[in-house]
């Protein structure tokens, strides 16, 4: 036979995505971005669910076509169960369930944050187990101790804002459009990261805090703008580089602490913020400094995508972990 073929669907936030994977190899990963939210400065849940409803059939169709796989060849259907926007999740989960019933195939519910972590198992080279994963997205910031595809533990997380929110909210203060993370990254390229010093919060253990940074950026800019109304425009690159530098050092100092504390020095990264060039560079430098192994998924597997749902579905298929057809989506899931 041809092996195990998984069709996966991701619809937790504002990306509608479908992917086909065969024996752990990604054959397609189609992602439809929703641009409707840009004008509102953030994702509008009701608009997101409507766009998912419009996108889901063509997106699944394109993913199958790109993979050159027909529906009857699919062995199981994986979908994002949680966490995410409930309306968005429902579109993907109901579609997956309907398909599973119609085709009489098993259904596999996947945890979105576990899938971000397992994106590290796509392609080569892959980390051996155990490894530590810094998962940084618009909604989450976690350090995960990963013992196997099905056995992972969150050992540190944010107490307030996520790293992606820290990027997006400070970008909004500067008048940049949503999502601001990629824009800060872009402007930071030509700026001085030491131009402005924003304090590093003193949080115990392996947890993070980002709400203080947002506040100090706000007060700093308000003060500067009183004397110089053009301050942001004039110093955009330096401000972006300084903010990015602080977010990156907060993240990497905790990851380093986690490595020393657990003795696990195989380091991975996941989630939308791991697309950040300063963070990617910083992690590689951290690894080089200490002789630690470092892994970063390809760019397209860092932000929300169905390939990571497919790879997680594949490992769940191998473990025989299937989902009853009656199980529903929920905005929050236990880890």
For residues 158 and 210, give the distance between their C-alpha atoms in angstroms, rounded to a whole number: 8
- DSSP, collapsed to helix, strand or coil, labels residue 5 as strand
Instruction: For ligand KG4, give the closer residue by CB, 5 or 312.
Output: 312
* Number of residues written out for the chain: 335
Q: Which one of ligand KG4, Zn ion, none interacts with residue 273, CB within 5 to 8 A by kind? A: ligand KG4
DSSP 222-250: HHHHHH-TTHHHHHHHHHHHHHHHHHHHH
**Is residue 168 within the footprint of ligand KG4 (CB under 6 A)?**
yes
Least Cβ distance, residue 274 to ligand KG4 (angstroms): 8
In the set 24, 41, 45, 182, which binds ligand KG4 (CB under 6 A)? 182
Instruction: For ligand KG4, give the closer residue by CB, 238 or 304.
Output: 304
Question: What is the dihedral sign for C-alpha 11, 13, 17, 22?
Answer: negative
Contacting ligand KG4 within 260-279 (CB under 6 A): 271-273, 275-276
Q: Are 299 and 10 in contact (CB under 8 A)?
A: no
Least Cβ distance, residue 106 to ligand KG4 (angstroms): 26
- How far from chain centre, in Å, is Cα 329? 19
**Is residue 88 within the footprint of ligand KG4 (CB under 6 A)?**
no
In the set 137, 141, 158, 216, which binds ligand KG4 (CB under 6 A)? 137
Least Cβ distance, residue 164 to ligand KG4 (angstroms): 3
**Is residue 114 within the footprint of Zn ion (CB under 5 A)?**
no
- How far from chain centre, in Å, is Cα 221? 29
In the set 167, 196, 301, 317, which binds ligand KG4 (CB under 6 A)? 167
Instruction: For ligand KG4, give the closer residue by CB, 14 or 156.
Output: 14
Antiparallel, parallel or unpaired: β 5-10 and 15-22: antiparallel
The answer to whether the peptide bond before residue 254 is cis (omega within 30 degrees of 0) is no
For residues 156 and 335, give the distance between their C-alpha atoms in angstroms, rounded to a whole number: 13
Q: Can you list the alpha helix ranges (DSSP code H) found in the chain?
A: 45-67, 86-103, 112-118, 163-173, 181-188, 211-227, 231-262, 277-290, 307-319
**Is residue 83 within the footprint of ligand KG4 (CB under 6 A)?**
no
**Is residue 242 within the footprint of Zn ion (CB under 5 A)?**
no
For residues 7 and 22, give the distance between their C-alpha atoms in angstroms, rounded to a whole number: 9
In the set 28, 137, 170, 244, which binds Zn ion (CB under 5 A)? 137
**Is residue 187 within the footprint of ligand KG4 (CB under 6 A)?**
no
- DSSP, collapsed to helix, strand or coil, labels residue 291 as coil
Return residues touching ligand KG4 (CB under 6 A).
13, 137-139, 164, 167-168, 179, 181-182, 185, 271-273, 275-276, 303-304
Q: Which residues bind Zn ion (CB under 5 A)?
A: 137, 304
């Amino acid at each position: 036979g041809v092996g195990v073929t998984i069709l996966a669907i991701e619809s937790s936030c504002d990306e509608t995505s479908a992917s086909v994977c065969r024996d752990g190899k990604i054959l397609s990963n189609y992602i439809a971005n929703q641009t409707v939210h840009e004008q509102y400065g953030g994702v509008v849940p009701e608009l997101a669910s409507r766009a998912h409803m419009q996108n889901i059939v063509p997106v699944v169709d394109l993913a199958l076509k790109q993979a050159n796989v027909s529906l009857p060849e699919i062995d199981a259907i994986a979908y994002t169960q949680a966490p995410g926007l409930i309306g968005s999740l429902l579109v993907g989960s109901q579609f997956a369930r309907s398909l599973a019933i119609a085709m009489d195939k098993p259904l596999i519910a996947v945890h979105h944050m576990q899938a971000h972590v397992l994106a590290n198992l796509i392609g080569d080279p892959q980390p051996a187990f155990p490894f530590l994963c810094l998962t940084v997205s618009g909604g989450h910031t976690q350090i995960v101790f990963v013992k196997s595809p099905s056995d992972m533990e969150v050992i540190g997380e944010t107490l307030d804002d996520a790293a992606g929110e820290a990027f997006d909210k400070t970008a909004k203060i500067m008048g940049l459009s949503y999502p601001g993370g990629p824009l800060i990254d872009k402007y930071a390229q030509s700026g001085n990261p030491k131009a402005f010093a924003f304090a590093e919060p003193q949080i115990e253990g392996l947890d993070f805090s980002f709400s203080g940074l947002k506040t100090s950026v706000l007060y700093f800019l308000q003060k500067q703008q009183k004397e110089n109304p053009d301050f942001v425009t004039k110093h955009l690159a330096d401000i972006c580089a300084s903010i990015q530098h602080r977010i990156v050092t907060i993240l990497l100092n905790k990851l380093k602490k986690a490595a020393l504390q657990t003795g696990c020095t195989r380091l991975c990264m996941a989630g939308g913020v791991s697309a950040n060039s300063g963070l990617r560079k910083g992690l590689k430098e951290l690894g080089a400094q200490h002789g630690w192994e470092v892994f970063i998924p390809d760019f397209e597997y860092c932000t929300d995508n169905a390939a990571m749902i497919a790879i997680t579905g594949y490992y769940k298929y191998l473990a025989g972990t299937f989902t009853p057809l009656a199980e529903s989506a929920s905005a929050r899931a236990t880890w």
